[in-house]
Structure 1
């Protein structure tokens, strides 16, 4: 029987040994690294969450301020005007949402006193009363033609009786004219923009409608707007 050398026995014993144990220091070190990484990830996540919340709150705050400013601006716009005429007062509700640009222009002119002393230069019974600059070329012929062909045109409920409107044609500030309908009128959608409605003083409108006029529908006696009062509520 062959004798095994001591060196060979030593090598065989080394091969049979299991894996070496991990030291306690190594375990603690790796644990600390994991804890630090988890803490860092949590801190980063919390930071971005808080930043997102702050940004969202800031955007909402800006939106609320803008809405409040817009609402405040809207609330500052008068909703009603009172036309004080030589026959009495006519209270008109303005269509701020339906015709905002025209209403803004109208209010601006009211504040500047544009309508103070404005005459009603055409009064057409069962049709309209018209106030403004009577020197505009073609105004008389245009409205005379309309009323003569009244029965030949279709009616539009958009232009009922006691509605306030102005022309759609481009005009300067001095050319802003007012029309108050006295009956459902022919379809004037191509001519008029309705931006208000008479809610009080219909009898005054009817009294103006009854004044004597010449063959061109011009009142024989001066009649017009004395001044205009603006109100937010009536």
Structure 2
């Protein structure tokens, strides 16, 4: 048997161990997988980025701060309401901490458009102007201070002029009226739930107060609220 030379064996060994060729199909599949991974990563990044932007614009909490924000939800509610009337605009600061339930009800009704078109039904000079059901105010005599010298009655900032309130009767969608005082009323707490004060537009309130009324204190010319705009800051 003839011997194979070492050089011949070496060449044969190199031919057997040569690198295997990668098919075109395999290369295409690998590239597709890489592209899909990149696209998926980009889509995920865009999704969370847009969600963060939307949360920032709408005042929504991030997941990490959700619990803390929920606990302080009442402080995120609008702090001001702008009553756009046929005589001009009246800006009111809302007492969210002092009257949270009334303010929540008021804000909910504003968003439902409840006050749109509401008329001022009664105007009593040097006392109050009222929008809503005039029967809920009671007799005008009830708002006088007969036999009570003003100097003997206690007074606080919540009894001053230009306070916003509503009657103490149970509130629902059919009976939420608005009162704005036009003079200090010492026993105001016995008559209304005060939940805000006028911070801009006192002249508009005074203009409404000066309109001509009939014997029932109803303005002879209709005066109403066109709409209410809620603001966090003014």
TM-score (ref. length: structure 2): 0.66
Structure 1 runs of 4+ aligned residues shifted over 6 Å read: none
The alignment yields a C-alpha RMSD, in angstroms, of 2.1
Q: Is the 8 A contact 1:79 1:231 kept in 2?
A: yes
CA distance in 2, matches of 1:88, 1:151: 37
CA distances 1:170-202 after superposition (whole Å, capped 9, x unpaired)? 132211110000010140312211100100000
The 3-state SS of whatever aligns with 1:189 is: helix
Q: Is the 8 A contact 1:83 1:225 kept in 2?
A: yes
Partner of 2:67: 66
Q: Is the 8 A contact 1:86 1:226 kept in 2?
A: yes
Partner of 2:86: 86
Q: Does 1:152 find its partner at 2:148?
A: yes
Partner of 2:221: 221
CA distance in 2, matches of 1:102, 1:119: 20
Partner of 1:187: 187
Partner of 2:130: 130
CA distances 1:62-98 after superposition (whole Å, capped 9, x unpaired)? 9965223223x23431000000000000000001111
CA distances 1:201-228 after superposition (whole Å, capped 9, x unpaired)? 0000000000001121111110011100
Q: Is the 8 A contact 1:169 1:191 kept in 2?
A: no
Partner of 1:111: 111
Unaligned runs of 5+ in 2: 1-62
Partner of 1:54: none
Q: Is the 8 A contact 1:85 1:227 kept in 2?
A: yes
Cα displacement (A) at 1:155: 5.6
CA distances 1:26-67 after superposition (whole Å, capped 9, x unpaired)? xxxxxxxxxxxxxxxxxxxxxxxxxxxxxxxxxxxx996522
Q: Is the 8 A contact 1:121 1:130 kept in 2?
A: yes
Cα displacement (A) at 1:105: 0.3
Partner of 1:171: 171
The number of residue pairs the alignment matches comes to 168
CA distance in 2, matches of 1:179, 1:122: 10
CA distance 1:101–1:129, shift in 2 (3 Å) = same
CA distance 1:147–1:65, shift in 2 (3 Å) = closer
Cα displacement (A) at 1:145: 1.5
The 3-state SS of whatever aligns with 1:161 is: coil
The 3-state SS of whatever aligns with 2:188 is: coil
Structure 1 window deviating more from structure 2 (94-103 vs 169-178): it is 169-178
Greater C-alpha radius of gyration: 1
Unaligned runs of 5+ in 1: 1-61
